[in-house]
Chain A
Amino acid sequence: MKTQNKNITYDALVIGAGIAGGEAALNLANTGFKVLLVEKDDSVGGKMILLSKVFPTLDCSACITTPKFSEIARHPNITLFTGSQVSNIKKHGENNFTATIHKKPRYVHVEDCTACQKCEQVCPVNVKDQYQYNLVGRKAAYIPFSICSPKAAVIDIDNCTLCGACERACPTNCIDFTMEEEVYDLQVKTIVLSTGFKLFDPLKMPRYGYGVYKNVVTSMQMERLIAPTRPFNNVLRPGDGKMPDKIAYVLCTGSRDVTVGNPICSQICCMYSIKQAQLLMGALPMADVTIYYLNIRSFGKGFEEFYEQAKGMGVNFVKGKIGKITEKENGSLILRYEDINSGKLKEAEHDLVVLSVGALPNNEAKGLFADNLQLDRFNFVDQVELMTSPAKTNIDGVFVAGTASAPMDIPDTILSAGSASSEAISYLMKENAPQPPKSGVKVGQFSGC
């Protein structure tokens, strides 16, 4: 495949366009710096844009995310690259970084695509839809999801049969199979790493039967089932399409568990499970929801009250770790657990089980650097001045925002992104300021300095 080499320069490179990267890019752009925001996915928004509602305000996630990304998309100081990978970041001196960006071909000219979905209708290929977390299928020519940005089709070339049906169906001729990967040599002055987190893969815990028992789903799949852009327009269990009426949540799946290599707490699972339980009680008024927990960690602002609210609504909280899940012939599931309140081993039957999977480090961050980016012992990006400058990494001028450094919820992510952008602005201004700043204020008149 041919490549073009283009040299581009920006003040700041922000890697990852989830909510952390989006917030950091906006902060930098609003103070006058030119930002290149790079996202490897075909849409911005990260995980947040795919959520249903958010705790504890129950704001619709799409409603509060899309305007932010709309602002990013048209900000005069932000250039956005989706479907693009950063690599080979090198530091040559203060305010002097180079990197390479590979913009993979979308095979669709975004500016001409009207998202009419005619290509989707004619595409003969069916594969699993990663944005719906494999609950349903999608085509090889497809719009990633209904509120994606940029809202344009993309060709999944790995699964495409090159039949050309989409090209013929497209009314604006925006599909172009001659597109090639573009390679950019980039020069920037500072970098914000907002590469996010990965979800724990419950296939690593065979005793919970994920991937074998169809009615065992992950919490992210449940997010999709109850989101406004949900696949079925209803909450249905995947095994047989029946509406569930006895739902179980298994907390700490892949967190606080040395046997799967993750001894730490993921900070978010208690709260998102409580939120989902509340939403399910609204969507399925007859359903019972039980949350099996070790400790409920509702520690943030308004969280404890939200937990109390869930108890008041009738969500069942059972203190106990699930040992094993087995499937009955009708697809329902038997959960075996130690009921800590009574000190006895018990079994309970549920017709849908949700595994509240934890947040793991995104291992890709380190690989972006030719220089050595230091990680902590859990493989999150190391915060070298944890107490006084939490956004600083071991490379001066590279700052970390959001869940790339540790599991955290959305408000903490916004704070962390604000922190990283503040450090990046200071770092940029240090180089730009030739003289000590003049403030026009007489300092001497005040005592106590």
Chain B
Amino acid sequence: MEKRIGVYICHCGGNISDYVDVEKVRQSVENDDNIVLAKTTMFACSDANQNEMVEDIKNHNLDAVIVASCSPKLHLVTFRNVTERGDLNKYTYVHANIREQASWAHADNFPAATDKTIQLVKAAIAKSRTTKALEPTKIKAERSVAVIGAGVTGMKAAITLAEKDTHVFLIEKESQVGGWVAKWKDLFMTEETGDMIVKQLHEDLKKRQNVSILLNSEVIGNVGSIGNISLKIKQKEEEFDITVGSVLVATGFEPYKPKEDEFGFGKVPNVITLPEFKQLIDHEKGKLMYNGKKVENIAYIYCVGSRQPEGGNTYCSRYCCTATIHAAIEARKKFKDIQNYHFTRGVRSYGKQELLYAESLQGGDIFLQSYEDDLPTVFARNNRPVVRINDILTGGKELEVEADLVVLVTGMAPRSNDTVGSLFKLPRGRDRFFNEVHMKLRPVETVIDGITIAGACQGPKTILESVNSALAAATKSYSNISKGVLETDPQIATIDVKACTGCGDCIPECPFDAISMVEDKGKTVAVINNTLCKGCGMCTPVCPTDAIDLVAFSNVQIMGMIDALV
């Protein structure tokens, strides 16, 4: 039977149609073989258009649908579901990305963008002609989650998952829970102290029968995929395996460590970092002393290790402005004769934290602000640190402060140890923190199904924000496994046993260890483990006899697409 294909070309509200002549694209494909219907639409993804597509499928007896719009990362699933509602097999749906690959990429050349779009749509049509109905693979999901990292984020995630009748393995490489927050006393926006919060969460965890806290433990192996992930754990000298349905990564951050002589660090006396200063004011009593001398003038230098020029940490660490303002207020309240000088690059006490900034100003703290291309300098004079600045707030005056203590407001940096990231193949952003699927709408999910990220391993966060992300990630991890059965895409590699010569060239190429050699009718051949294979296609090009083919990206389909493109 001849295929009956419907094609929709999306304006994307101007994102495509401002650069691509969508009507010309429509006209150039409407008379192609198998094309029953070709339409343009303002927003293919809108509810109204989705309903129209379902109607079209029925009224025109379509058996395949193509939408040419944005990246399939955004809407492949959306349109597969539309075809399913039109009673088609959802794997017959083909997506053409004409936004990221044409209109946005060639915004400087409209005719070329239109020509490329036409080719991309024609390639999609070529693929569509040979698509076949497929059934999703069903997997039984383990009702358990591994939470990696037992800081506040990991602890909170573990509690909320345990409340949902889910077994949790809380895996921590240190000998105790609590991460950085366990070391902190006073916090901003709350009367609670860091160690109190950790204690409270720990007490809660200890009461729960379905939480296994694994201290001194690291994940060293990972096999399987969403629903059934087998992790190898190394606990001191011992090694054992656990099986979970989902993994929640909460490996946190590292405080930025200033370089030698960065704002005098390690060279000028009495220059310390913010975490060191927090420890100092939390533990000193009566008088604030440093190196045997009383501290009165304190200079805080902001954005150390944050907002650096290209090549450094270009991001803002978000928590440090308010953390510093708060620590300075605490120091002033707790010790006598303290004068705080804040050398800022513009204070970012966002939201309700603004009140702390106001309190700081009213209490007599002095704020200065440096020019972006002229940061403050720290040097020693008579064995005492001096900070010099050209201050915006006094119209560019050069000012000096002789300080007893200089506090470098160090930001959050991603973990330098990438064991967990590389084990789960988690992508990192330009800032080297773990990357989410979508920055706006899917901030705790990763491109690896079943693996979620929470807390500061995704980017700098306050405790409140980390806890919110812990709960959000736990919800997503839980919804992966809550139904007990999972559907995954059947797009995997297959091996033609007759053509396979058993050379084994494909085995080292597979990043998921999904291929092994077996004896079949007196012949050694390669075989694919369907639950491990992700359909990445690494094995297909190395096969000397073309015995390996990918379901839904078959050699025939790819060749057809190439023919349409060239």
Chain A neighbourhood of B197, CB < 8 A: 387-388
Contact between B392 and A340, CB atoms less than 8 A apart? yes
Contact between B160 and A443, CB atoms less than 8 A apart? no
Contact between B474 and A422, CB atoms less than 8 A apart? yes
Q: How far is the CA of A292 from the CA of B215 in the complex (A)?
A: 52
Q: How far is the CA of A416 from the CA of B43 in the complex (A)?
A: 28
Q: Does chain B have a CB within 8 A of A261?
A: no
Q: How large is the interface on B (under 10, 10 to 19, 20 to 34, 35 or more residues)?
A: 35 or more
Q: How far is the CA of A160 from the CA of B430 in the complex (A)?
A: 55
Tell me what chain A mostly uses at the interface: helix, strand, loop, or mixed.
loop
B469 contact from A415, A426, A429, Cβ within 8 A: A415
B396 contact from A308, A341, A430, Cβ within 8 A: A341
**Of listed A63, A264, A387, A426, residue having the most chain B CB within 10 A:** A387
Chain A neighbourhood of B468, CB < 8 A: 390-391, 412, 415-416, 418-419
Contact between B216 and A448, CB atoms less than 8 A apart? yes
Chain A neighbourhood of B165, CB < 8 A: 429, 433, 437
Q: Does chain B have a CB within 8 A of A406?
A: yes
CB-CB nearest in chain B for A226: B14
The contact string, 1 if C-beta is below 8 Å from chain A, for chain B 347-362, is 1111111110010000
A63 touching B144 in the complex, CB below 8 Å, given contacts A264-B351, A406-B352: no
Q: Does chain A have a CB within 8 A of B415?
A: no
Contact between B475 and A422, CB atoms less than 8 A apart? yes
Chain A neighbourhood of B206, CB < 8 A: 449
Number of A-B contacts (CB under 8 A): 259
A residues 61-109 touching B (CB-CB < 8 Å): 62-64, 66-71, 73-74
Chain A neighbourhood of B478, CB < 8 A: 31, 422, 425
Chain B neighbourhood of A417, CB < 8 A: 472
Q: How far is the CA of A283 from the CA of B396 in the complex (A)?
A: 36
Q: Does chain A have a CB within 8 A of B440?
A: yes
Q: How far is the CA of A61 from the CA of B363 in the complex (A)?
A: 43
Contact between B74 and A64, CB atoms less than 8 A apart? yes
> What's the least CB distance linking A264 to chain B, in Å?
5
Contact between A410 and B475, CB atoms less than 8 A apart? no
Contact between B351 and A63, CB atoms less than 8 A apart? no
Contact between B47 and A441, CB atoms less than 8 A apart? no
> What's the least CB distance linking A30 to chain B, in Å?
5
CB-CB nearest in chain A for B11: A228
Q: Does chain B have a CB within 8 A of A256?
A: yes
Q: How far is the CA of A242 from the CA of B315 in the complex (A)?
A: 38
Contact between B355 and A263, CB atoms less than 8 A apart? yes
B residues 196-216 touching A (CB-CB < 8 Å): 197, 200-201, 206, 209-210, 212-216
A70 touching B464 in the complex, CB below 8 Å, given contacts A295-B348, A448-B216: no
Q: How far is the CA of A386 from the CA of B166 in the complex (A)?
A: 25
Q: Does chain B have a CB within 8 A of A330?
A: no
Q: How far is the CA of A298 from the CA of B303 in the complex (A)?
A: 13
Contact between B354 and A264, CB atoms less than 8 A apart? yes
A319 touching B47 in the complex, CB below 8 Å, given contacts A301-B459, A448-B213: no
Contact between A387 and B464, CB atoms less than 8 A apart? yes
Show 13 A/B contacts (Cβ-Cβ < 8 Å), sorted by A: A31-B479, A66-B43, A70-B50, A265-B351, A295-B348, A300-B459, A301-B458, A308-B314, A387-B187, A414-B443, A421-B475, A423-B471, A448-B217
**B→A interface (CB under 8 Å):** 12-15, 42-43, 45-48, 50, 70, 74-75, 78, 85, 143-144, 156, 160, 163-167, 187, 189-190, 192, 197, 200-201, 206, 209-210, 212-217, 235, 240, 306-307, 314-316, 318, 346-355, 358, 392-396, 429-431, 433, 438-444, 458-460, 463-465, 467-469, 471-476, 478-479, 482-483
13 new A-B contacts, CB < 8 A, other than A63-B45, A147-B47, A416-B472, are A68-B441, A149-B47, A228-B43, A304-B306, A387-B187, A410-B441, A411-B439, A415-B469, A418-B472, A426-B163, A436-B209, A441-B167, A449-B213
